[in-house]
């Protein structure tokens, strides 16, 4: 009888371990900013939404580091995987100025001592979605943001009092992106007015810049940081293959 009890206990523990491995949790940093509500951290399970896109790509239902669908979540400089207090060149991981880059550089004039590596898409170790959610999660590429715009109806709206855009697909499913603004130095800018979300794609001709999705109540489009660089703190929305 004793052996049977021990066997059953081990089986229960093993089954629980298998079940936990099937989850993809949003392990946000508790130091994140979450002005839309919640605390920006914890192990919040991300739900994946199938919008019926041509690529079959699934979109996360909330920002990285967000507890609720309308929460702002955490802010990340491009290529960094943890939030921080100040977003500028002095604190940036991959270069201390726009012409002194040490990773993701396609132009010798923009690299430290002529450095280039010709990397144009974030590696998994530098992808805030991959590192913080795990599994197959990653940041969208620039053309995947375009796919979202082209295959959904986008509406400026509010969710629990938080402004943002709702993207509704022809299959009736939708995601909400809060207008979370961005961090410049140590100040949150444009929250409630603009949504700015990183892609994982470098601007090849200007490698101190990266492409991001930008929207407000009037428009939505892909932009680059226009010389201000990869150092801004922007929220991240994850995607994954079906």
What is the model's pLDDT at position 34? 46
Residue 71: strand, helix, or coil: coil
Dihedral-angle region of residue 37 (phi above 0 means left; psi in -120 to 50 means alpha; beta otherwise): left
Q: Which two tokens stand for residue 175?
A: 């995601």
What is the model's pLDDT at position 45? 85
What is the model's pLDDT at position 171? 98
What is the model's pLDDT at position 140? 98
Cα 240 to Cα 50, 57, 121, 140, distances in angstroms: 10, 6, 16, 8
Query: Per DSSP, what are the bridge partners of residue 45?
Result: 25
Q: Which two tokens stand for residue 45?
A: 């399970």
**What gap in Å lies between CA 225 and CA 48, rounded to an integer?**
29
Identify the burial level of 108 via C-beta atoms within 10 angstroms of its C-beta, where 0-12 means exposed, 13-18 middle and 19 or more buried. Answer: exposed
What is the model's pLDDT at position 8? 33
Please report, in angstroms and rounded to a whole number, the separation of the first and last CA atoms in the chain. 46
Range of the domain at 207: 2-240
Total structural domains in the chain? 1
What is the model's pLDDT at position 229? 82
Strands 42-45, 25-28: pairing is: antiparallel
Average pLDDT per 10 consecutive residues for the chain, totaling 242 residues: 35 35 42 39 74 98 98 98 97 94 97 98 98 97 98 98 98 98 97 97 95 97 80 97 94
What is the model's pLDDT at position 44? 60
Going by C-alpha positions, the residue among 240, 234, 202, 233 that lies closest to residue 215 is 234
Task: Give CB contacts under 8 A, 24+ apart, made by 200-204.
Answer: 200/121, 200/122, 200/127, 200/138, 200/139, 200/140, 200/141, 201/120, 201/121, 201/141, 201/142, 201/143, 202/104, 202/106, 202/119, 202/120, 202/121, 204/106, 204/120
Q: Which residue has the tokens 């939505």?
A: 220
What is the model's pLDDT at position 132? 98
What is the model's pLDDT at position 224? 86
């Amino acid at each position: 009888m004793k052996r049977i009890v021990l066997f059953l206990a081990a089986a229960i523990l093993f089954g629980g371990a298998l079940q936990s491995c099937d989850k993809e949790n949003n392990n946000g940093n508790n130091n994140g900013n979450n002005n839309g509500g919640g605390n920006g951290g914890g192990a919040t399970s991300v739900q994946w939404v199938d919008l019926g896109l041509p690529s079959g790509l699934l979109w996360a239902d909330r920002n990285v580091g967000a507890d609720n669908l309308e929460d702002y979540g955490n802010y990340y400089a491009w290529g960094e995987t943890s939030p921080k207090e100040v977003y500028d060149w002095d604190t940036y991981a991959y270069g201390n100025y726009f012409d002194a880059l040490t990773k993701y550089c396609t132009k010798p004039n923009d690299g430290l001592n002529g450095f280039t590596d010709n990397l144009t898409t974030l590696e998994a170790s530098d992808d805030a979605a991959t590192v913080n959610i795990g599994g197959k999660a990653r940041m969208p590429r620039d053309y995947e943001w375009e796919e979202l715009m082209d295959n959904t109806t986008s509406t400026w709206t509010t969710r629990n009092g938080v402004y943002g855009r709702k993207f509704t697909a022809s299959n009736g499913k939708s995601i909400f992106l809060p207008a979370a603004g961005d961090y410049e130095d140590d100040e949150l800018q444009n929250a409630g007015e603009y949504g700015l979300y990183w892609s994982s794609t470098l601007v090849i001709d200007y490698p101190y810049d990266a492409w991001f999705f930008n929207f407000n109540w009037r428009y939505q489009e892909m932009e680059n940081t226009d010389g201000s660089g990869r150092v801004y703190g922007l929220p991240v929305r994850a995607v994954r293959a079906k």
